[in-house]
Homo-oligomer: A and B are copies of this chain.
Amino acid sequence: MQLSKRDVVDVATSLLDDYGIADLSMRRLARELNVSAGALYWHFANKQQLLGAVADRILQPLTPASGNWPERVRATCAQLRDALLSHTDGAELVSASLAAGQSEVMTAVLARLAAAAGDAGVASEHTDLVARTVIYYVLGFTADEQSRLQWDAAGAEVDTTVWTEDPNARFAFGLRLLTDGIAAHSRTGS
């Protein structure tokens, strides 16, 4: 049976879920697919591009939100965080793909957030930066949260000093900071 891009990405995703990003190698993926490592390079130019396709698979569940701009920002960020938390090292993988410019879905999400910023009254030359700032927050927060969750699941007694509050509430609080900041920059208020 011939190898399809879809098969490759599916198996890569399950490898990611089971063993994490550090063990997601081209050679191991090829072995899992019963194919030689070189075969993957017929379908993908390099590993970065393959990881970008996995990132897009992870981000598939994201759909455009409706409502006023703060609702749309909150919904988009919540969807993004949920998608990242659904896969081992999801935040790390998507961050890397964003940095490499290899995720098309991420580009669409950025555009969605920039449009919301525009509706908030942010000047057009700044909407992209506002969108990126929101994304930096979601990726940073979720990468942190996920590494703690995974450490924890691995049986370590993570310091619970002041980390007692519900992660959802913490996430919402940090996001509120950003939406309040955006509102302060708008011509019309929230």
> Footprint of B on A, CB under 8 Å?
92, 99, 125-126, 128-130, 132-133, 135-137, 139-141, 143-144, 147, 162, 165, 170, 173-174, 176-185
Contact = CB atoms under 8 A, between A and B. Distances in A.
A132 B163 CA distance: 13
Contact of A99 (B129, B147, B170, B176): B147
B177 A130 contact: yes
A125 B165 contact: yes
| Number of identical monomers bound together in the oligomeric complex | 2
25 contacts: A92-B99, A99-B144, A99-B147, A125-B162, A125-B165, A128-B162, A129-B170, A129-B174, A130-B177, A132-B141, A132-B144, A133-B174, A133-B177, A133-B178, A140-B140, A176-B181, A177-B181, A177-B182, A177-B184, A178-B178, A179-B181, A180-B184, A180-B185, A181-B184, A183-B184
B173 A126 contact: yes
A178 to B, nearest CB: 6
Contacts of A177: 130, 133, 178, 181-182, 184-185
A142 to B, nearest CB: 10
A43 to B, nearest CB: 24
Nearest to A161: B128
Contacts of A140: 132-133, 135-136, 139-140
Given A181-B178, A181-B181, A141 B133 contact: yes
Contacts of A174: 129-130, 132-133
Contacts of A99: 92, 143-144, 147
Nearest to A170: B129
Nearest to A179: B181
